[in-house]
Amino acid sequence: MSQPNIVIIMADQLAPHFTSTYGHPVVKTPHLDALAARGMRFDAAYCNSPLCAPSRFSMMSGQLISKIAAYDNASEFSATIPTFAHFLQLMGYRTCLSGKMHFVGPDQLHGFQDRVTTDVYPSDYAWTPNWELPDERIDKWYHNMDSVREAGMAATTFQIEYDDEVCFFAKRKIFDYAKHKQTPFCMVASFIHPHDPYVARPEWWNLYDHDEIDLPTHMLGPEEQDPFSRRLMDGIEASSVAVTDDEIKNARHGYYANTSYFDSKIGELVQTLEEAEVLDNTIIIVTADHGDMLGERGLWYKMNFFEHSTRVPFVVAGPGVIQGVSDNAMSLVDLLPTFLDLAETNDIKRPDLGVELDGRSLVPLFKGKDDKSEAIGEYCAEMTGHPVFMIRRGDFKYVHCDSDPPQLYNVPTDPLEMNNLAGDPAHKELADAFAKEVAETWDGEALRRDVIATQKQRRAIYQAMEKDGSVHWDYNPPREASQEYVRNHMDWTVAAETNRFPPPKRKT
């Protein structure tokens, strides 16, 4: 079997619960539905950290965030950490990134040979939390309730402009690879929607009847929350800024609309792969970096290990993937070993990795074979002062933080996670076993000291970079307009022929 192309289509902050693919009665995601119908849907897929940059760095490296110091949205992704883009390049792939990956630091490629857009967020240390003042808000960049209160329609936003650009350049690059026969290729097309603010163009907003927009299934007030969730409410001001049912419905309406907008980009990219005559040999994966609580439990956005925040959609289709549904727990850290399996042939072997990976290949699951059911999560960012750890194994999820009571849930029987079993005598043996595993796996206090140390270092560097004349790391995509389309140094007939796909048939 030849090496397949690999295309990862990534949403930002998309919980699978809010797609028709995963059974939502209102949200419309027909293109994701179509991929699931001819491939495999994973019903227990998790991010490894419920925050943008840490999740993405873990996914790309195949390592958990505590091993690579990817603690928060201002943690540097070190250039010394190999990624799936490096390994696939060594195995003969052309690698491309179109869109968001939230790389922080001077290395803005991390193995991608072609990067065709800039990022949507800053690449410096501006968004560094302060664990020595865990209860203090940083108003400049902390989430607040404005995204909920100001949801609605707009003709354009920076997010719409960004995602339109991401899709355009991704499609153009797919055709470039087809025209110049640059295969196999691995492309990540990474969009910012449906991430808040929940503002949509009219055609997507009007796709939904506002009266059909559902309210959260279960909402908790500040005094009903566990300690960690209460800190989250305080941090995003949900405990002090009241929102009405109408505002909540508007926010969910905008989110649903932008989910359908993202779904339309899936359709455009799949159509382009088909038109470029590479669809039959392309593995397509649709996923996200984390989810969105969207008002469930009284919480918004992410930054916790409840299902709506930490679970992600994961749909895969392509050669060798059977049609079906898997309820095996897995996580984004499993992508790198999966790609190595997909790329390896009798003639092309995987390179020396030089690192110990934390994930496992999903290829057996793609083929319908049984496999272990496990996902590991870590959170070391804002609104806490201690690391938070999650173990999802089989039916159970265990969450530990040194400063908070433990949590244990049976996810299939309690999907809203309303019944904490950690103090239930019937589950004491299981809870004790999880607690022992956490203590043996992580040194929480040592990790906390390292998080605080890196925060201090990064804040100092950021203050220096803010001085006049500093060079910032934001990526500027190279582009030579003088070499595009038709120019005086070109034969226009040659330009027309070489940039046409399929190429014209020669007349005899």
Q: Label each residue of 255-271 as H, E or C.
A: HHHHHHHHHHHHHHHHH
- Using CA of residue 76, residue 231, residue 10, residue 121, what is the dihedral sign? negative
Residue with tokens 């865990």: 134
Question: CA-to-CA distance for 75 and 186, rounded, in angstroms?
Answer: 26
Please tell me which residue in 17, 86, 102, 400 is annotated as part of the active site.
Answer: 102
Burial class (CB in 10 A: 0-12, 13-18, 19+), 469: exposed
If 0-12 CB within 10 Å is exposed, 13-18 middle and 19+ buried, where does residue 507 land? exposed
**Whether 210 is catalytic:** no
Active site residue 52: yes
* Interacting residues of 106 by C-beta distance below 8 A, sequence separation 6+: 79, 473
Q: Is the dihedral of CA 202, 206, 211, 217 positive or negative?
A: negative
Residue 159: burial class (beta carbons within 10 Å; 0-12, 13-18, 19+): buried
Q: Is 406 helix (H, G, I), strand (E, B) or coil?
A: strand
Catalytic residue of the set 17, 31, 47, 52: 52
**CA separation (Å) from 54 to 71, 388, 486?**
6, 13, 43
Q: Which residues pair with 204 in a beta bridge?
A: none
Triad 88, 94, 100: Cα angle to 5°: 85
Beta partners for residue 12, in sequence order: 194
CA 261, CA 318: separation in Å to the nearest integer? 23
Residues carrying an active site annotation: 52, 102
